């Protein structure tokens, strides 16, 4: 027992490193770049040189990251000044650095001193002395931490002649395009394609010039059992990512891409929780496009970028590909090239005409999806039974009904059914009357802190540090039920079970309410919540009907104490999850992913050591049976897996959803292990709170996707 208490103290000490972490890890760091501006006004125009000095061993991201899979924040440089109209700034050609977060990509960066040039037009009376520059971006240490950079500077005057010695004579002033022709040609020469081998689809591009126009054929081969969504999804409630096609190439102005006719596929649940359908493609499809050939057009430099989503019956993955033309391609491929204004198959336009309307024979009937909805209710009910909040009611149920059966023989079935009815009706009442307010309270961070503290106390009790008795008010309620014949009291005992377990069941109840409420009628909510409550009630009703049989089982041996202690370690792990929920809600950032997984590693490692018999309670025989040995191996393997994730490596989908979604570059004074997740965590992303439309704008400006994080903290 002495060793176990020491182990428990060691577990509690795991929280100390977060408080002892260096302030620099959670606070601001010094800028890793210096911004300077020099200007010269001559003959009604002003020339500007922006000098950016990046700290040694650090780099600054270019204005364009390169690959859409690259991680980082592009630089945005803004010039201003009273009476000055600036043209587009010209950056030097970036360097290329490889990133590897699963699929290797190259990202555009700058090291050392970076000179950016710009030309502006002076208004009458302006002399350029008010010129200023602002720069926003991200600086990263080589193989280490990344921090956001925001800086501004006013002009320091003419500066040294060496700064302007290489000022580009062909740099456009205001009114010109943002990227000059020379830069565009350089970009085409530096074209780098990419394809995701796990996207389950491949893209090929063929181009040729016919009758003075450019023609492109885009062939997409989709794996068997997989599908790719159309450019238009169909109904508004369809849940999918539409596919976008973007053609590029020197001197070619491409027109709209012509798609083949899509296939209408059913979806079990749309955005409104009801069955719907979506346009999609299977097998191999060919898309066509025509373009205008400009002066100096070179079809050999044509390329296409495809972005979308591929899915099979089980899950979906993002699909991205950027490929260069493979040449003219076979004649058979262009033999079906559509006439101008026609679709690829001659029938796609008709499909699109009804893309937002469901045909009458395919329209979902009002009662459709009810079985699926009830199936969800049963699934969430079973899952809720596994939540720790229901555990305290098990001994109370056994104790109460054991006494009731001995005092009121023949009434056991009635009492058990009333017990179950209390559970079911309470869930229905919650769904109809006060579902939303209780859910909001149950997911509040203070509630999570309280639950976490309770789990720590409960864990210490299971580990044998003290005895934890059931709440007195519940025992009083059971006593009142006995004194009143049991009927009314046992009914309210069922309602009490719902209340005590609702903190854990709230997320599932909330999901069920959101799906049921989308139908617009209370009947479905009542039916769904009733099914959910019935699923939870059945095991307790069955338990209440056989308390005597349970009581007559021979006394538990050492295995029961082993089970109790093991559950204590599990309760410790559960407490950490609730503390993490509060940490995320309040943005404390004291329990990052690495520390959370390291704590779980320690918890389950000590549990494995106990199961192997290396830590013993007083009076234990020390014999290790087969079940205990296998359990110890399972705990040890899971502990190693948590440690693997704590070093920064990728984990499975379930563990990824459990662990906190943010990381710290250093935790408690040691470097993370350089795995994919650790490196990705060092890339700082812009977070937009509670404003999806603004997030879309930011994502479009940065040429990135939007990750929408839904939480229960309102």
Residues 590-645 pLDDT 10s: 899 889 999 999 999 999 999 998 888 776 766 788 888 999 999 999 999 999 99
Task: Please give the pLDDT value at position 511.
Answer: 61
Give the residue with greater pLDDT, 187 vs 205. Answer: 205
In sequence order, the β-bridge partners of residue 303 are 248, 324
Q: pLDDT tens across 128-161, in order?
A: 899 999 999 888 887 667 788 889 999 999 988 8
Q: Give, for 59, the enclosing helix (H) or strand (E).
A: strand 58-66
* Average confidence (pLDDT) over 560-583: 82
How far apart, in whole angstroms, are the C-alpha atoms of residue 378 and residue 497? 18
pLDDT digits (tens, 9 = 90+) for 323-333: 988 888 888 88
Of 557 and 617, more confident:
617
What is the pLDDT at residue 18?
A: 40
Res 222 pLDDT > 80: yes
Calculate the CA dihedral of residues 195, 196, 197, 199 and round it to 10 degrees: -120
Tens digit of each residue's pLDDT (9 = 90 or more) over 49-69: 999 999 888 899 898 877 666
All structural domains of the chain:
1-30+588-683 (no CATH), 31-189 (2.60.40.1250), 194-353 (2.60.40.1250), 367-553 (no CATH)
- The H-assigned helical ranges of 173-308 are 181-189
Of the ranges 173-177, 296-300, 546-550, 598-602, the best mean pLDDT one: 598-602
Of 542, 551, 550, 552, residue with least CA distance to 412: 542
* pLDDT tens digit sequence for 355-401: 333 333 343 343 446 777 788 888 878 867 766 556 556 666 666 66
Q: How confident is the model at residue 11 (pLDDT cuts 50, 70, 90)?
A: very low
pTM of the model: 0.39
| Mean pLDDT rounded to a whole number for the chain | 75
The answer to whether residue 668 scores a pLDDT higher than 50 is no
Task: Decide: 41 and 164 in contact? Cβ < 8 Å.
Answer: no
147 φ/ψ angles, rounded to the nearest 5 degrees = -135, 150
The 3 state secondary structure assigned to 514-540 is HHHHCCCCHHHHHHHHHHHHHHHHHHH
State residue 102's pLDDT score. Answer: 55
Q: How does residue 664 score in pLDDT terms, banded at 50, 70 and 90?
A: low
Lowest mean pLDDT among 383-387, 683-687, 710-714: 710-714
Over residues 240-269, the mean pLDDT reads: 86
Q: How far is CA 598 from the centre of its chain?
A: 21
CB 70 within 8 A of CB 192: no
């Amino acid at each position: 027992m002495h060793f176990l208490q020491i182990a428990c103290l060691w577990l509690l000490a795991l929280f100390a490193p977060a408080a002892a972490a260096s302030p620099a890890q959670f606070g601001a760091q010094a800028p890793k770049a210096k911004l300077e501006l020099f200007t010269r006004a001559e003959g009604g125009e002003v020339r500007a040189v922006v000098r950016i000095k990046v700290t040694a061993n650090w780099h600054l991201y270019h204005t364009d990251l390169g690959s859409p899979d690259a991680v980082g924040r592009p630089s945005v440089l803004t010039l201003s000044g009273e009476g000055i109209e600036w043209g587009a700034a010209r950056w030097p050609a970036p360097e290329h650095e490889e990133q590897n977060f699963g699929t290797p990509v190259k990202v555009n960066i700058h090291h050392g001193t970076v000179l950016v040039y710009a030309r502006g037009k002076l208004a009458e009376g302006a002399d350029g002395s008010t010129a200023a520059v602002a720069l926003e971006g991200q600086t990263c240490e080589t193989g280490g931490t990344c921090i956001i950079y925001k800086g501004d500077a006013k002009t320091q005057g003419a500066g040294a002649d060496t700064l302007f010695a290489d000022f580009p004579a062909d740099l456009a002033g205001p009114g010109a395009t943002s990227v000059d022709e020379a830069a565009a040609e350089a970009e085409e020469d530096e074209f780098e394609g990419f394809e995701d081998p796990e996207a389950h689809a491949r893209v090929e591009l063929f181009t040729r010039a016919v009758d003075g126009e450019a023609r492109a054929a885009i062939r997409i081969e989709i794996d068997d059992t997989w599908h790719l969504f159309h450019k238009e999804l169909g109904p508004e409630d369809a849940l999918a990512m539409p596919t976008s096609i973007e053609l590029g190439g020197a001197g070619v102005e491409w027109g709209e891409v012509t798609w083949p006719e899509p296939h209408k596929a059913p979806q079990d649940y749309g955005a409104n929780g009801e069955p719907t359908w979506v346009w999609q493609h299977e097998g191999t499809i060919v898309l066509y496009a025509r373009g205008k050939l400009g002066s100096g057009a070179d079809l050999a430099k044509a390329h296409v970028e495809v972005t979308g989503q591929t899915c099979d019956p089980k899950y979906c993955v993002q699909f991205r590909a950027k490929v260069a033309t493979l040449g003219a391609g076979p004649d058979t491929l262009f033999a079906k090239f559509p006439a101008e204004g026609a679709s690829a198959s001659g029938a796609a336009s008709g499909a699109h005409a009804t893309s937002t309307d469901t045909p009458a024979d395919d329209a979902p009937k009002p009662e459709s999806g009810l079985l699926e909805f009830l199936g969800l209710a049963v699934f969430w009910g079973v899952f809720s039974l596994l939540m720790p909040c229901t555990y305290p009611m098990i001994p109370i149920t056994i104790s109460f009904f054991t006494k009731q059966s001995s005092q009121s023989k023949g009434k056991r079935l009635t009492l058990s059914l009333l017990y179950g009815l209390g559970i079911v009706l309470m869930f229905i009442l919650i769904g109809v009357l006060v579902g939303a307010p209780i859910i909001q309270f149950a997911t509040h961070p203070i509630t999570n802190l309280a639950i976490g503290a309770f789990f720590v106390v409960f864990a210490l009790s299971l580990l044998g540090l003290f005895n934890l008795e059931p709440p007195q008010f519940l025992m009083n309620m059971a006593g009142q039920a006995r004194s009143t014949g049991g009927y009314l009291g046992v009914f309210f005992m069922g309602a009490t079970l719902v209340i005590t377990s609702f903190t854990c069941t709230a997320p599932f109840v909330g999901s069920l309410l959101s799906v049921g409420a989308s139908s617009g009628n209370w009947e479905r909510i009542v039916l769904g919540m009733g099914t959910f409550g019935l699923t939870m009630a059945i095991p307790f009703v069955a338990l209440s009907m056989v308390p005597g049989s349970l009581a007559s089982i021979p006394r538990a041996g050492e295995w029961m104490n082993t089970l109790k202690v093991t559950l204590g370690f599990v309760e410790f792990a559960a407490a950490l999850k609730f503390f993490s929920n509060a940490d995320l809600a309040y943005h404390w950032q004291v329990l990052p992913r690495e520390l959370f997984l390291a704590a779980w590693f320690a918890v389950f490692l000590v549990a494995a050591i106990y199961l192997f018999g290396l830590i013993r309670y007083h009076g234990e025989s020390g014999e290790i049976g087969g079940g205990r040995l296998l359990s110890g191996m399972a705990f040890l393997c899971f502990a190693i897996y948590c440690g693997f994730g704590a070093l920064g490596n990728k984990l499975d989908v379930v563990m990824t959803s459990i662990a906190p979604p943010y990381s710290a570059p250093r935790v408690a004074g040691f470097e993370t292990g350089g795995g994919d997740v650790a490196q990705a965590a060092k890339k700082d992303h812009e977070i937009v709170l509670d404003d999806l439309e603004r997030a879309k704008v930011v994502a479009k400006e940065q040429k990135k996707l939007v990750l929408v994080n839904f939480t229960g903290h309102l």
